[in-house]
Amino acid sequence: MIMSELFDTRGVKDDAEHWDALAERVAREAARRSRHATVGSLAASRAGLIAASLLLAASLAFMTMTWRQGSRRPAPELGQALAPSDDVGRAIAVTGGPPAIAALLFAEPRRVEGQP
């Protein structure tokens, strides 16, 4: 087989009717699939409605239990763990406000591991 035979397109229909029919089939199939994949189809089935109701009830119960247990603020350790590594970002995250300008100007820079 020579290269020109490998890429031979004489058997491909290249007329407007062929492409219009193909586009129509693709559009029809896409519309059919989109009707079946919507949230409305989930709510239309009884099992889907029951599952959604149970998930809603469970989430409300979980939120109520956490609200009754106590503090609305996260633990300070969590704030320190999630704070940025740079001095300014850490000061803002941990203290809740920006650091004083003098503290930034006269603070000794932290050493990064592996650098002199």
pLDDT band at 115 (very low <50, low <70, confident <90, very high): low
Element (H, E) at 95: helix 87-95
Please give the model's pTM, rounded to 2 decimal places: 0.30
Instruction: Find the mean pLDDT for residues 14-24.
Output: 90
Listing DSSP states for 12-68 in one string gives S--SHHHHHHHHHHHHHHHHHHHHHTSHHHHHHSHHHHHHHHHHHHHHHHHHHHHHH
| Contact criterion met (CB below 8 Å) for 90 and 107 | no
* Closest among 82, 87, 80, 83 to 105, alpha carbons compared: 87
The amino acid present at 39, given as its one-letter code, is V
Domain boundaries, the chain: 13-69, 76-106
Residue 50 tokens read as 């029951």
